[in-house]
Amino acid sequence: MDYEQVLQEIQLEVSPLLNDGKVADYIPELAKIDKSNFGMHLLTLDEQNFAVGQSQVKFSIQSISKVFMLAMAVGECQYSVFDRVNVEPSGDPFNSLVQLEYESGIPRNPFINSGALVIADILLSEFSNPKKEFLQYIHRLTGVSSIDYNETVATSEKALGYKNAAMVNLMKSFGNIHNEVEDILDLYFHFCSIEMTCEELARAFRVFANHGRGVVDSYSYLSESQFKRIAAIMLTCGFYDEAGEFAFSVGLPGKSGVGGGIAAILPNKYSLVVWSPGLNNKGNSLAGMKALELFTTKTHTSIF
Ligand code: GLN
């Protein structure tokens, strides 16, 4: 399979879509990003790299960091994490509050904001310096020690993060939040503000494609069972109320973020990342979804 050629075809085919999406302007710093950006990076388990477009430009990974948060929490606390957050698709937008009230403050899954806020609370309780240790975790996953938080993006989101604040407060009223609201929000906004390139994200997700094991030293970040469960949550909950559509048209476990990135894996084969900042009305990258659909169609790969 000529992956280089496939990626070039895809770049050409999605280029008319780049203007259709809308950048995430509820975070003022993200509203400044140019919609014409498009990058893609494929990393196979036998260490071949293929890329097109702006695959080396750093962007805000936003909710993609929820996968790393969950992996770190499960690595530390195993499945007790799931006493406080469920594993069901929500069928609601990523920032919705409605289910939280009638489900007694237990979020549907760790990949919507409420669920990730509970995970941030767990990391805050478990680690002495979670901000530093989370970055170190990502440095180990990628081998890139320059990856960092973008303080301007974190501050920009914090200034207007009323809904996330409402969620933490509501969950605290049900007893499902143990630390101070402000501390959790600060940690969560920092996690979302991390900037990475398509290539760096593909490197991090290679560990998931490799059943939780790293490259060089075969270090196990996750057990086989932990990996399988996290991948299952990516497939069923990685795209909020568009998780069904992503499984339907792309057929890979993955995770999106409002920075316009999507990371996906085909276990045992590859990790694949696309970045295109224009979002559809569900908050997922519009051209990115199409690019991944074209990729699995052209390469005859998907988990099905
Ligand atoms: N930081 C964003 C928020 O909390 C992340 C949302 C996303 O990427 N879907 O709203």
200-249 residue pLDDT tens: 999 999 999 999 988 755 678 889 999 999 999 999 999 999 999 999 99
| 164 CB near ligand 1 (under 6 Å) | yes
Distance CA 158, CA 152 (A): 10
* Residue 112 CA to ligand 1 centre (angstroms): 8
Model pLDDT, residue 221: 85
* Residue 226 CA to ligand 1 centre (angstroms): 24
* Residue 23 CA to ligand 1 centre (angstroms): 12
Model pLDDT, residue 115: 98
102-136 residue pLDDT tens: 999 999 999 999 999 999 999 999 999 999 999 99
Model pLDDT, residue 218: 67
Q: Maximum distance among all alpha carbons in the chain?
A: 55
Q: Any alpha helices (H) in 194-259, and if so which ranges?
A: 198-209, 224-237, 243-249
* Residue 64 CA to ligand 1 centre (angstroms): 9
| 271 CB near ligand 1 (under 6 Å) | no
3-state helix, strand, coil in the chain (%, to 5): 50, 10, 35
Pocket test for ligand 1, best of 27, 149, 184, 256 (most atoms within 8 A of CB): 27
Instruction: Mark the ranges of the chain whose per-residue pLDDT is less than 70.
Output: 216-218
* Residue 242 CA to ligand 1 centre (angstroms): 15
Contact 291, 21 (CB under 8 A): no
* Residue 105 CA to ligand 1 centre (angstroms): 19
pTM here?
A: 0.97
| 252 CB near ligand 1 (under 6 Å) | no
Closest CA to 186 of 234, 135, 124: 124
| 113 CB near ligand 1 (under 6 Å) | yes
